[in-house]
Amino acid sequence: MPVISTERLTKRYPRVTALDALTIDIGDGVTGLVGANGAGKSTLLKILLGLTEATSGTATVLGHDIVSDGLALRSRVGYMPEHDCLPGDMSATELVVHLARMSGLPTSAARERAADTLRHVGLYEERYRPIGGYSTGMKQRVKLAQALVHDPDVVFLDEPTNGLDPAGRDEMLSLVRRIHTDFGISVLVTSHLLGELERICDGVVIIDGGTLLRSSTVADFTRSSDRLALEVLADPDDALVALADAGLEVVRDGLLLLVALEDDETYDKVRDVVADQELGLVRLAPRRHHIAEVFDEEATRVIS
């Protein structure tokens, strides 16, 4: 059973269609929901949580219908909203304990879970200080902790790396990955940066203007465009001709030659050409595309 399933989900505002007949299935693991600002990512999360109503279409989360079964659904989901929404005069501990109790945990269990969760997200002594004095990174961690405190089966994280510096981003991304690897919780995480999600996601869903552009595993995304990077002592242009004559698809990228990797035989073919033509092998290694490059190529194809 998919963790999230939508069927022609549509949301129209008076001036804009935020989601346009979106049909997707999202499975277990960490899934990235990617799209430019305004693509409809936050709107999708809010509809799935029952915070805003869809204009038409249906959806389920963990098998619960978003309209008729909203209470049961929300008890199993954690949500980290995008924008700053934390009370500045409360401490992280007070807030997370309060929200744990609102989720139905008895006081002592709520205290224990809040302490564990805040430690897990990397807030220690600071957790007793008012949130108003926290850095952006610390506030993001509080938002993450409150999404996890009731031990949900799935969490929705809306732009968790927003406003963080590169080191803060890396730490947050590692934390997001560990939500699944350490606790088995499914994660749907949004970002407008495709590149940052490939490191931590099992699957990626790309939306644009409220419609689905592509949905696949990260491995499929990159495998389809694997290349071998070849460096030789000979002139790269001469090597390019020799490789092309042998029936290989090859392009030059500076000093490197990028050979399309059809199957394992491609390695043998390249080796034979390099040896026969005495090109002088310096390096031969797979060069896996980043999903951002794959996406750029697809966008170029669509436009051209």
Ligand X SMILES: Nc1ncnc2c1ncn2[C@@H]1O[C@H](COP(=O)(O)OP(=O)(O)OP(=O)(O)O)[C@@H](O)[C@H]1O
Pick the closer one to ligand X by CB: 6 or 43. Answer: 43
Burial class, 224, CB count within 10 angstroms (exposed 0-12 / middle 13-18 / buried 19+): exposed
Structure tokens at 102: 């609102």
Per CB under 6 A, the segment of 39-47, 169-177, 227-235, 276-284 that binds ligand X is 39-47
Sole window of 10-18, 63-71, 219-227, 248-256 interacting with ligand X (rule: CB under 6 A) = 10-18
Query: Does the protein bind ligand X through residue 13 (CB under 6 A)?
Result: yes
| 214-233 footprint of ligand X as x/- string (CB under 6 A) | --------------------
Shortest Å, Cβ 114 to ligand X: 28
Q: How far is the CB of 65 from ligand X (least distance, A)?
A: 21
- Please state, in angstroms and rounded to a whole number, the distance separating the CA atoms of residues 241 and 230: 14
Q: Where are the beta strands (DSSP E) in the chain?
A: 4-12, 17-26, 30-34, 56-61, 64-65, 77-80, 154-157, 186-191, 203-208, 211-217, 227-232, 250-253, 256-260, 281-287
Judged by CB under 6 A, the stretch of 30-38, 65-73, 94-102, 145-153 that binds ligand X is 30-38
Q: Does 160 bind ligand X (CB under 6 A)?
A: no
Q: Does 43 bind ligand X (CB under 6 A)?
A: yes
Nearer to ligand X, 46 or 227 (CB): 46
User: Is residue 38 near ligand X by the rule CB under 6 A?
Assistant: yes
Question: What's the closest the beta carbon of residue 143 comes to ligand X, in angstroms?
Answer: 15
Which residues are bridge partners to 43 per DSSP? none
Amino acid, res. 295: F
Radius of gyration of the chain (CA): 24
Of residues 4, 32, 34, 40, which one binds ligand X by CB under 6 A? 40
Residue among 180, 73, 88, 201 at smallest CA distance from 142: 88
35 binds ligand X (CB under 6 A): yes
CA distance 180 to 30: 7
Q: Is residue 48 near ligand X by the rule CB under 6 A?
A: no
Residue 301: closest CA among 293, 288, 123: 293
